[in-house]
């Protein structure tokens, strides 16, 4: 991957990329409210578990499949994969979170220069774009290595989780960086496993996450939309 592509990847993975990720805790706020998370150790365990049982074992599969479909400009497969991914969101909040960020990223890409002319019509061909759908489109357009795209996608999610914890637990900055060091190692292991194994176990079985997300929908006092 050339340096320009890597710069583009750093841009979309940055917390400064305005797609609204800061507004979502993805169920973490409910876990904090319920007393399940109250310190550095429990924050690290939460992020590692969600990475193992949901993001890393299912969502990145969708990201990789969508990336391949974008490379082939296969509109039918892209629509199917987007619908399939939305159908796996266990709660209204988790579904609305990915659609809101997908909408925001699509709108932002529409005003950024340098994207292929065929990209935006395909992006706009679905009514509810998920975040992986739009992210993989940008990665394909900017010739970003699929595995590096995966690593950055997961890192962006993990970094936002740590920021949520820093605001809500609260967690100190040094503790937050220690958590990110640990999670970074887990992400690197995930990417190495993808390079090594041709068949990947696919699972999105995380009932605890779904329950907490459902509880967050009626949580009285909260900072985040999900």
Q: Where exactly are the structural domains of the chain? A: 27-216
Confidence of residue 85 (pLDDT cuts 50, 70, 90): very high
Helix axes 146-168, 173-196, angle to 10 degrees: 160
| Close Cβ partners of 150 (under 8 Å, ≥ 6 residues apart) | 60, 63, 64, 190, 191, 194
pLDDT tens profile 141-177: 999 999 999 999 999 999 999 999 999 999 999 999 9
Model confidence at 78: pLDDT above 70: yes
Residue 117 confidence (pLDDT): 78
Model confidence at 36: pLDDT above 90: yes
Residue 153 confidence (pLDDT): 98
Note every long-range contact of 51-56, with CB atoms under 8 Å and residues 24 or more positions apart, other chains counting: 51/154, 51/158, 51/183, 51/186, 51/187, 51/190, 52/186, 53/203, 53/204, 53/205, 53/206, 53/209, 54/204, 54/206, 54/209, 55/154, 55/157, 56/154, 56/186, 56/187, 56/190
* Average confidence score pLDDT of the chain: 94
Confidence of residue 90 (pLDDT cuts 50, 70, 90): very high
Confidence of residue 198 (pLDDT cuts 50, 70, 90): low
pLDDT tens profile 96-143: 999 999 999 999 999 988 788 788 899 999 999 999 999 999 999 999
Q: What is the pTM of this model?
A: 0.96
Model confidence at 39: pLDDT above 70: yes
Classify domain 27-216 at the CATH topology level.
Answer: Urease accessory protein UreF (1.10.4190)
């Amino acid at each position: 991957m050339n340096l320009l592509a890597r710069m583009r990847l750093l841009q979309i993975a940055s917390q400064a990329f305005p797609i609204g990720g800061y507004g979502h805790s993805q169920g973490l706020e409910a876990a904090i409210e319920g007393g399940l998370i109250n310190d550095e150790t429990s924050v690290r365990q939460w992020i590692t578990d969600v990475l193992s049982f949901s993001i890393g074992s299912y969502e990145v599969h969708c990201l990789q499949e969508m990336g391949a479909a974008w490379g082939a400009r296969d509109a039918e497969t892209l629509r199917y994969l987007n619908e399939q991914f939305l159908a796996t969101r266990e709660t209204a909040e988790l579904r609305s979170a990915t659609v809101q960020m997908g909408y925001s990223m699509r709108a932002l890409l529409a005003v950024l220069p340098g994207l292929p002319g065929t990209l935006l019509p395909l992006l706009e061909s679905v009514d509810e774009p998920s975040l992986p759908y739009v992210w993989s489109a940008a990665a394909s357009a900017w010739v970003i290595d699929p595995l590096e795209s995966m690593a950055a996608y997961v890192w962006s999610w993990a970094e936002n989780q740590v920021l949520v914890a820093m605001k809500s637990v609260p967690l100190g900055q040094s503790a937050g960086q220690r958590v990110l060091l640990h999670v970074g190692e887990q992400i690197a292991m995930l990417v190495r496993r993808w390079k090594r194994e041709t068949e990947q176990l696919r699972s999105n079985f995380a009932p605890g996450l779904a329950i907490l997300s459902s509880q967050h929908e009626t949580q009285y006092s909260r900072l985040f939309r999900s």
